[in-house]
Chains A and B, each alone.
Chain A
């Protein structure tokens, strides 16, 4: 009954996928920190979590101080967002692990 386990894990599986996708986006922003004309992009986590999988829209970041070559990547901002996203990812893993553990307890009855 894979469907029921999916429903049991709830929003966390979707959150995990979104977080890994966001990590990819932020990594791309950081890799392009010195690319002329590159526009930094991110996803709005809250609205993306509400929409269906794979349909999240990318948004351009509003730069604090764009570079003269048109680059809008703020390395410090991207780095902190990446670190925060990594912690969220680990939190989601902890949630899923906890759910799986209680499922195991229910199955084995110990």
Chain B
């Protein structure tokens, strides 16, 4: 019976969204991780989602079977240069480099990921209730 695929689909969505939440947490935690070398500065990470297809397309009507994280890309935005000669991490000219993490963007991303995760949980709960009701078919 293919109904169990709903659990796989919703589960793949939940795991993809939790990867997204992890990158958001990492980006926010490192928003102020400065460095004296612009090449060593932390860069914001973002996951790239990709729809997965069932192994044998056409067998189950080619409905698709969830989502996966195709990879995690690093932001190519230039680090912000700040003049802080008193900082022990500053380079010879007295500059430090801060990662260009957009905190507002990350917060919005976090809310979006959290809502999508909740959607997947709701789908899973509904599917579970329906399957339990199907199991009771003909009883009572």
Contacts and interface: CB of A to CB of B under 8 A. Distances in A.
B116 interface: yes
A9 to B, nearest CB: 11
Nearest to A55: B61
B116 A20 contact: no
Interface in B63-80: 63-67
B22 interface: no
Contact of B126 (A34, A35, A58, A86): A86
Nearest to B47: A34
Contact of B63 (A58, A75, A82): A58
Contact of B67 (A35, A83, A89): A35
Interface residues of A, number: 32
A25 interface: yes
B123 A30 contact: yes
Contacts of A75: 115-116, 119
A100 B138 contact: yes
A75 B67 CA distance: 15
Chain A binding surface SS class: helix
Interface string B1-17: 01101100110110011
A39 B110 CA distance: 23
Contacts of A56: 61
B137 interface: yes
A34 B61 contact: no
A77 interface: no
B87 interface: no
A107 B2 CA distance: 32
Interface of B: 2-3, 5-6, 9-10, 12-13, 16-17, 20, 48-51, 61-67, 112-113, 115-116, 119-120, 122-123, 126-127, 129-130, 133-134, 137-138, 140
Interface of A: 16, 20-21, 23-28, 30-36, 38, 41, 54, 56, 58, 75, 79, 82-83, 86, 89-90, 93, 96-97, 100
30 contacts: A21-B61, A23-B6, A23-B127, A23-B130, A24-B5, A27-B123, A28-B63, A30-B10, A30-B13, A30-B116, A31-B9, A31-B10, A31-B12, A31-B13, A31-B16, A31-B123, A32-B51, A32-B67, A34-B17, A34-B49, A34-B116, A35-B49, A36-B49, A75-B115, A86-B126, A86-B130, A93-B134, A93-B137, A96-B137, A97-B138
